[in-house]
Chains A and B, each alone.
Chain A
Amino acid sequence: MPRRSGPDALAQEARFVFKGTVKKLRAATMREVPIDARTVVVRVDEVIQAPEAMSHYAGQDITVLLPAKKKVKKGQQSVFYTNGLLFGDSVAVQAVDHHEVEKIPAALALASGGDPVRNLAVKDVQARVSSADVIVSGRVTSVRVPSDMVAARAAGVADPTATGPISEHDPDWRVGEIQVDQVHKGSHKGRIAEVRFPNSPDVMWYNAPKFHPGQEGFFILHKSTRERVAARAAPTDDTGEYVALHPADFRPFDEPGGIRNVLGLPE
């Protein structure tokens, strides 16, 4: 697959983005990292985008594994687009690419100086917005057990397996009805959108959105036929038109910035 090279694309591909200064060539901060020409020590000057666990690394020296055919000079300051690789007494990251600081894109420049965890969350929302079939704003009016599962559960009084295999990873599907106030992306007919979501607190599903009546906000929706989970998704006749699986698939109205910025809406 061809590698995306634009800074914005790189920031989507990389989770840990930082400004850094190259301190040592052919060196590492961890003895577990084999040293070669692609291994450099970089001081993290400023974290721009990061998961929570890597958001406090400003001022620290870390190991960067450069991609093939990419070189840096000692003392060079760059924006590094990386993903975590090794975590021990120090950290080693695999660089997707790096750019001169002056070439930092507008979006990242705006993010620079902000909360790196929040910046990553915005990137995640951007990615979900980009892949969404439909984005609506509105309110959850009801949540129900899918009709076919209601029937199965009734049968399950006598036969607990009537609803299908019993598994601790059962998604425990629900269908939320959303009263649509506005469509922000794609095409949706009617005032109601039906969204299937896993109600289970199991490890496989806990971070998917859990809808409840009265919940208001933006719903980033994907067609259930396109984003069906392969295992135990229990596709049924009453699937709902859409499915919400990613934690970024719901954004509340009162979230500052975030999706409003992504959609170009006023605060």
Chain B
Amino acid sequence: MATRKTRRRVTARKARSTRSRVARRGAARGAVHAPPGFLLINMIPHSLSGETSQDSEPHLTVNPANPNMIIGTAFSPNPGGGALGPVYKSLNGGNTWIVQAIVPSVAGSGIGTGDITTSFNRTGSKLYGGILRAGTGALEFLRTNAPAFPPMTVLASRPNADQPFTHATTVPSGPGAGQDRVYIGDNDFAAPGGKTQTVDQSLNAGVGPPVAFGSVRVEKRTTVGQDGPQCRPVVHSDGTAYAAFYGWRALTGSFPANTLVVTSADVVVVRDDKWGAGGFVNLKEPPLPAGDGLPGKRVIKGVSFPFMRNGTAATGQQRIGGTISIAVHPNNSSVVYLAWGDRQPGSFLTVHVRRSTDRGVTWSGPGDLLTIPNATNAALAIASTGEIGLLCQQVTGTGAGQRWVTHLQRSPNGIVWTDLVLATVPATTPVKTFDPYIGDYDHLVAVGSKFFGIFSANNTPNMANFPNGITYQRNANFTTHTLLNVNNSSPVAASIDPFFFKV
């Protein structure tokens, strides 16, 4: 045990010395070194040092009332193989992590769960979640109590939907004060007319069961038969609720043949000014000819991007299918930032960032506030200071030199951005076990003035892969770049792990 702890502390010291060198090199390129208090940690606990799962598609929630309490999720199987899937839990601000099995699943599942996202309510007394359940694929809405975190209760379940994305809060004052409001964006294939973009919401989710969830169909325009999978809700404490999604208008190619391209999609933002109770129709386009008069602002029209069945070498093994994120200023619900991805010349997916200061009516442009080529998994957040954060993952290089570079871009004003490189890891190893390689999303949240984030990446213990430092809980030898089993001697193959950071 003493040997292991020593090893981990040595790693931290090496991280600090490496950080200084990289900072000097990076400054000329616009990259910055990590500020004091920066933490980046591999979330796999010591007792799971032998694990080799592809722990991709991570998500994160931080208790707003106690930022020391954090829950992370990923495609991680229950290491003990029981009938519950795991979450990653920290009670000390992310400095250490344990794995706890609380997610409804099936015994022996190779994945603990399908898609999963979670969110604390405002008081941190409850944790909500949306999943595609392992074994059935059913869309399920979940709840449990904090800080005990007993197995999560299924509040609702239905088939035939995709990519639940959970945002929860609590009404701070006024009508409904104390009620938990839960918004789960999803792509509901059962929606009528092929208008599949949906926000499933409960405006009083903390009581019951039964808990009433209503499906708000936020797509109001004609689709190609469906929309894209991403629906990202976010809610301000004054009751202003936004959601962003891709409205699919035209396709070509074949999904089974991995040639499908969304040739025309609108990047749409919807808004509701009463916690979603009004059906997300408060943001309308002007009548013809300036707009079409329908609810939902088409911030960008007619973007194109591949929608891949499988990741390929050109995309760093990651399937590409768009990326979208929206964040509202915690001190001003009129200020909202939007990130989306589309295909550009020489870039399989380019991440764009723009801003609205009038509740989504008009948007910055025609140029971007920030543009990042060959990137995906955009995740926006805004701190109480007004600082904007964008987490994304970018492919650089080719062949054996290809890498996944994870960036945290930050800006005080949306104009000047500084790039903090969190990880730069080989994109060709390990070979993927399944799609998606690193996940169809990652996540960034802001609590107070701090950003908290999670991403998945190659876990090879090499300081060069983490230019601003790293801490491992699992056994690792950073000299030989080798992971070690719980006995601290048997080598363990590299795999995809979840990483937590805060800054």
A residues adjacent to B (C-beta < 8 A)? 15-16, 30, 32, 51-57, 60, 82-91, 93-94, 120, 124, 153, 156-157, 159-161, 163, 165-170, 172, 200-204, 206-207, 229-232, 247
Contacts and interface: CB of A to CB of B under 8 A. Distances in A.
B366 interface: no
A87 B45 contact: yes
Contacts of A203: 56-57, 75, 111, 114, 434-436
Contact of A84 (B79, B111, B196, B309): B79
A124 B160 contact: no
Most A C-beta atoms less than 10 A away, residue of B56, B82, B229: B82
B256 to A, nearest CB: 6
Given A56-B486, A161-B224, A231-B136, A83 B256 contact: no
A53 B50 contact: yes
B255 A232 contact: no
29 contacts: A15-B81, A15-B107, A16-B81, A51-B81, A52-B50, A54-B81, A56-B50, A83-B83, A84-B101, A85-B82, A86-B99, A86-B100, A88-B97, A89-B473, A94-B82, A120-B81, A124-B108, A165-B226, A166-B307, A167-B162, A168-B229, A168-B321, A202-B435, A204-B132, A230-B137, A230-B138, A230-B159, A231-B161, A247-B110
A-B pairs, 6 with minimum CB distance: A84-B80, A231-B137, A83-B82, A15-B81, A88-B98, A206-B434
Given A56-B485, A160-B254, A169-B137, A201 B435 contact: yes
Nearest to B79: A53
Given A16-B80, A83-B80, A88 B440 contact: no
Contacts of A167: 162, 187, 189, 229
B260 interface: yes
A232 B98 CA distance: 34
A144 B172 CA distance: 57
Contacts of B108: 15, 124
B254 A89 contact: no
Contacts of B77: 51
B98 A160 contact: no
Contacts of B100: 85-87
Given A165-B196, A169-B132, A170-B256, 9 more contacts: A15-B108, A51-B81, A56-B486, A83-B81, A83-B83, A83-B107, A160-B260, A200-B309, A203-B111
Nearest to B253: A160
B49 to A, nearest CB: 9
Nearest to A49: B81
Given A15-B82, A83-B80, A160 B111 contact: no
Nearest to A84: B80
Most A C-beta atoms less than 10 A away, residue of B81, B229, B440, B473: B81
B419 interface: no
Interface string B138-167: 110000000000000000000111100000
B78 interface: yes
B397 interface: no
Contacts of A230: 136-138, 159
Nearest to A32: B98
A50 B273 CA distance: 52
Contacts of A169: 114, 132, 137, 162
Most A C-beta atoms less than 10 A away, residue of B194, B254, B321: B254
Nearest to A231: B137
Nearest to B54: A203
Contacts of B57: 203
A85 B79 contact: no
B260 A166 contact: yes
A232 B158 CA distance: 11
Interface in B434-456: 434-436, 440
Interface string B31-62: 00000000000000111101110001100000
B173 interface: no
Contacts of B137: 169, 204, 229-232
B491 to A, nearest CB: 13
B251 interface: yes
B111 to A, nearest CB: 6
Contacts of B107: 15, 83
A86 B151 CA distance: 12
Interface in B227-252: 229, 251-252
Contacts of B135: 229
A223 B48 CA distance: 37
Contacts of B485: 56
Contact of B110 (A30, A170, A207): A207
B79 to A, nearest CB: 4
Contacts of A206: 110, 433-435
Contacts of B253: 160
Given A53-B48, A247-B110, A231 B159 contact: yes
B91 interface: yes
A51 to B, nearest CB: 4
Contacts of A120: 81
A209 B75 CA distance: 20
B484 to A, nearest CB: 11
A15 B255 contact: no
A51 B226 contact: no
A171 to B, nearest CB: 9
Contact of B99 (A57, A87, A153): A87
B462 interface: no
